[in-house]
Amino acid sequence: MSRLPADPRESMTPPDARQPMIHGNIPAFLGARPVRDLAGLTGLDVVMAGLPWEGTNTWGGFSGCEQTPKACRLASVRYGSGYLPEYDVEVMRELAVGDMGDLPVSPSSALATFAGFEASAGAIFDAGVIPVFLGGDHGVTYPLIKALAARHPGRLGLIHFDAHLDNAPAYGEDTLARCCPLRRIAETPDFDPRRMVHVGIRGPRNAPSQMRYARQSGATVLTMADVRRQGLAAAMEQAKKIASEGTDGYYVTVCSDILDHANNPGGPLDFGGLTSSEMLGVLHDLAKGPLLGLDLVEVYPQCDTSGASTHLVVWEVIYALAGLALARRGS
């Protein structure tokens, strides 16, 4: 005979339970409720959505990030209901989390794919649910912010974690490549680039023209040297203040190379970044604020032979959800 939970908040993913499948043989992230249509967003606090998009490859063999949503869902099975002893929070008990699977892509057309991402993201934002998007290359952030900015014209903050400014005007003829999204966002009529903060910028894979554009557009750039000089806590207070004062909240986008390569073995060869511990703490704290959405991009499962970078994405999501849960518990 099946046993009804004594406590209605009892975890839906005990160790001996089957994981619900989001599609095929791929489990829902952390055993979240599968969301089959927009009506399924009702009552959720958070929804996971995969963006399995890989556009133009801009460097070497670092490719395959369209596989990340699947890889992260499979990795998440290891972590039960997301209990963190340091905060005494079991995220899947304290938050209603859904997983709507992967948003459709048109492999031959970035324009069609991004139009679909924008429409789907808009529906999520209209439902009042906080989305966590699993990319995908960094180009996917543009249609998400475009949708969110249209709902908060001039009143949206953006905190961008990355080794690179990603505000190139184009890569060859491709204006939607992974090195361009922050330029497209700054050009979006509903978005005020003075509310944009680039955090962790560093290293020789940046161009002087991109730094000039960031400054001329009104964005704030906190290089890795700035972060170390100020201290991480002070730098994040500055970023949060810029992105939250006079806005309805902020969106956070995380490129995997914000991390030092030692902490991101499946990522590109960018050194001198944040540690994994620092990144987990930062996301936990930012989720306590007026967070409107989050994406994690530029992870390459086929280059991630140990699975460490993929598992770190799952940890990042869990720590962010724990911050959100604590904020809602406190309120």
Q: What is the pLDDT of residues 81-120, one digit of tens each?
A: 999 999 999 999 999 999 999 999 999 899 999 999 999 9
- Does the pLDDT value for residue 10 go beyond 80? no
Which residues lie across from 285 on neighbouring strands? none
Q: Round to whole Å and give the CA distance between 316 and 314.
A: 5
Contact 239, 222 (CB under 8 A): yes
Coil/strand/helix, residue 48: strand
Q: Round to whole Å and give the CA distance between 55 and 117.
A: 14
- Does the pLDDT value for residue 14 go beyond 60? no
Percentage of the chain lying above the pLDDT 90 cut? 85
- Does the pLDDT value for residue 8 go beyond 60? no
Mean pLDDT of 63-77: 94
Q: Round to whole Å and give the CA distance between 30 and 19.
A: 8
**Domains of the chain with CATH codes:** 21-330 (3.40.800.10)
Q: Using 50, 70 and 90 to split pLDDT, how confident is the model at 156?
A: very high
Nearest to 73 by CA among 131, 21, 124: 21
pLDDT at 192: 98
pLDDT at 58: 75
- Does the pLDDT value for residue 265 go beyond 70? yes
